[in-house]
C-alpha cells in the first residue's frame, strides 16, 4: 500500500471538566504519515501543544490493540471513525487524505459524563457488571474444557457475546443513549452457558435495574448500536435479554 504524508485540520472538543460548557478548538497537524494510527496522530498533536506550553488533549487509551475498549472517540459523526468493526486505536490515517478536516468529540450520553476533553466516565458500565455480570457459585477446581457438555450452537453464541469490550460505542450511536447492546451481551453470554444457570434469574433483573438507575435511555431497536460495534455484537442478544428478563419477572425457574 502506498505511503504518503498529509496535512490535516482537526476540530477537537475541549472541556475542562463535567461542569464546564466546553467548545471546539481547531488545530493544524502537518506531515502526518498515512501509516500512523489515529491515536499516534493525536500523540503528535499533543507533543506540539506541550512544546507550545499549552494543555494537551486528554483522551483515553490503554492497549492500543483493539482489546481494552478505552479509545472512545466520536470521529466525524461516527464512534471509532469510518472503518467498520474497528476501534479508534486500530484506525489508521490512510482512511483520510491530505487537506481533510476531522471533527473529534467525546461520547455524548448523560450516563457518560465528561471528565476532561475526550475522556468520559464509563463507571456506569462497571456498576452494571457488579450488579450481576458474574458467577459467584463455587465451581470447584479447574476441569477439562470438555468436562461440562455445552451445545455447540450455544457455545458459539456465548463466545460471540463475550467479545464485547465495553467501549460504549453502542451508547454513543444510539439516539436514546441506550446501553441495551452492552447489557444484553453481558447477560446472554452467561445465560447460554451452564455455569451461569444458578443466578440466571436474579442476574437479568438486577442488571436491568442498575442500567435504568444509571440513566441510560430505552431501546427502540434502530440497530445503530450493532452498526458501530467494533466487535460486531449482534442485536439478537437484545431479544435474548428481553426473554431472560420476562422469564425472571414471571417467576419462571428459567431453565434453558
Domain boundaries, the chain: 5-115, 123-249
Classify 202 as helix, strand or coil.
helix
Residues 200-254: tens digit of each pLDDT: 889 999 999 999 999 999 999 999 999 999 999 999 999 999 999 999 987 644 4
Residues 147-193: tens digit of each pLDDT: 888 999 999 999 999 999 999 999 999 999 999 999 999 999 999 99
Which CATH architecture does the domain made up of 5-115 adopt?
Answer: Roll (3.10)
Other residues' Cβ atoms within 10 Å of the Cβ of residue 13: 19
Kindly report the pTM of this predicted structure: 0.92
The residue with cell 463466545 is: 159
- Residue 11 contacts residue 25 (beta carbons within 8 Å): yes
For the 123-249 domain, the top CATH level (class) is mainly alpha
Amino acid at each position: 500500500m502506498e505511503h504518503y504524508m498529509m496535512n490535516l485540520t482537526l476540530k477537537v472538543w475541549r472541556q475542562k471538566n463535567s461542569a464546564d460548557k466546553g467548545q471546539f478548538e481547531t488545530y493544524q497537524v502537518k506531515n502526518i504519515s498515512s501509516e500512523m494510527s489515529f491515536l499516534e496522530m493525536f500523540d503528535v498533536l499533543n507533543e506540539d501543544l506541550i512544546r507550545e506550553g499549552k494543555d494537551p488533549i486528554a483522551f483515553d487509551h490503554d492497549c492500543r490493540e483493539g482489546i481494552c475498549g478505552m479509545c472512545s472517540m466520536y470521529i466525524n459523526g461516527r464512534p471509532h471513525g469510518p472503518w467498520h468493526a474497528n476501534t479508534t486505536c486500530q484506525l489508521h490515517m490512510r482512511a483520510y487524505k491530505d487537506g481533510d478536516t476531522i471533527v473529534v468529540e467525546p461520547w455524548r450520553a448523560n450516563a457518560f459524563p465528561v471528565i476532561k476533553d475526550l475522556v468520559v466516565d464509563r463507571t456506569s458500565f462497571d456498576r452494571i457488571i457488579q450488579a450481576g455480570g458474574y458467577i459467584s457459585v463455587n465451581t470447584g477446581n479447574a476441569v477439562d474444557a470438555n468436562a461440562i457438555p455445552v451445545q455447540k450452537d450455544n457455545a458459539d453464541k456465548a463466545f460471540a457475546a463475550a467479545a464485547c469490550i465495553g467501549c460504549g460505542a453502542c451508547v454513543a450511536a444510539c439516539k436514546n443513549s441506550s446501553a441495551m447492546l452492552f447489557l444484553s451481551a453481558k447477560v446472554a453470554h452467561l445465560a447460554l452457558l451452564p455455569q451461569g444457570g444458578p443466578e440466571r434469574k436474579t442476574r437479568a433483573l438486577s442488571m436491568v435495574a442498575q442500567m435504568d438507575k444509571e440513566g441510560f435511555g430505552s431501546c427502540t431497536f434502530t440497530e445503530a448500536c450493532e452498526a458501530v460495534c467494533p466487535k460486531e455484537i449482534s442485536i439478537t442478544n437484545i431479544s435474548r435479554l428481553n426473554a431472560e428478563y420476562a422469564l425472571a419477572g414471571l417467576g419462571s425457574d428459567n431453565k434453558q
